[in-house]
Amino acid sequence: MEDMVPEGYPIEKHRVNTEDGWVLNMYRIPHGKYRNNKPGPRPVVLLHHGITLSSACWTLLNANESTAYILADAGFDVWMANTRSNTFSRGNYKHSYRDQEYWYHSMDEYALIDLPAQINTALAKTGAPKLAVVGHSQGCSLVYAMLSVMPEMNDKVSVVAHLGAVVFLDFFRAPVLKAFAEVRNDKFFYNSWLGEFLWYRLLAPYVKTCTEYIWSELCMSTLNIMFYGPSAFISPDDNPVIFQTWPASVSGRNMAHWAQMLTDGQLRFLRFDHGTNCSHRNRPYDETCNQQRYGSLQPPEYDLSQITAPQYLFAAEMDVMATNEDAAEQKRRLRPEAFAGETIYQNYAHMDFVWDRNARHAVDLVDLLYRYAPQ
């Protein structure tokens, strides 16, 4: 990560130990290079990546194009989070990545253990009373989940900027991912020995091929069809940069969690469903059951109406993952006083929020963060 940051931007790595034995690496750019380039107190913002990504998605492009540099030059103390087991947070005191138990985690652990630990670390290091959070895709889902369950964290967050927030999957339109869920891949991951969904160490040789110009357009088209939907702004010429860090490793259980919600059919934002068979122990992920974990047969919902910190939605008109219908349902579930507003970007797609060199949303984002910055 450090070797990706242009000379002149200070980059720090901060180690975060979680209560259940994970070692997470956060990265910090405390001030800018071209403007606001002197050390000193300033508003703190935490950037959280989406699924299959890492903190690198905020720093891949040039200084006037990547979110982390734009915010640092605009006068923010920028922190970047990483979820457990991704490219930059592989450490675990109890298990090797070869162990099945290493991969026993999903959004619940990211939202209720990893994210609070990283927020508390950033606040402790900076001495700031609050910070803003900018999430992309699943990064938004994690913030929603944390704030709905942990009321004390609402007092530590000045505002949340949701870039393409994915929550309610009844409106999900990414064809390959939707088909993958509808064949009940959650059952497959429950019963198989596999723990990792995207094996970066095995995919790397093939992904590297995509950095060659002759394959660029084919690779980008395949990526868009399989995962994120088409983009009018991300050029195949950017593949050599994008595929330096994509994909970051993903837990199969994380994918299973999304599959459970997509096939639930009841428009719910749920915790992971461990099943109701408490006596059966021959499946790798069945370390518990709903009754033991939650005290109920069904996993509980994340209730967005419990959130009090301001939430602002940045939506993309062409987004097939975070659809406009999904955003409307999020607004409906939030308290009126917690919903801070929404901007919909015409012709924008899901990954344009992190990979578009024009970054059309950046000015609006900076304005929002300053508007809610602690005085």
Catalytic residue from among 319, 326, 352, 356 = 319
SS3 content of the chain, % helix, strand, coil (to 5): 40, 15, 45
Catalytic residue from among 66, 85, 89, 137 = 137
Q: Catalytic annotation on 296?
A: no
The separation between the first and the last C-alpha atoms of the chain, rounded to the nearest angstrom, is 32
- For 97, phi and psi rounded to 5 degrees? -65, -15
DSSP label at 270? B
Q: Catalytic annotation on 319?
A: yes
Centroid of chain to Cα 16: 17
| 369 C-beta neighbours (distance < 10 Å), count | 24
DSSP label at 309? S
Contact 243, 205 (CB under 8 A): no
- Helix ranges restricted to H, 6-66: none
Catalytic residue from among 73, 350, 356, 361 = 350
137 residue type, one letter: S
Angle at 357 between CA 354 and CA 362, to 5 degrees: 65
Active-site positions read 137, 319, 350
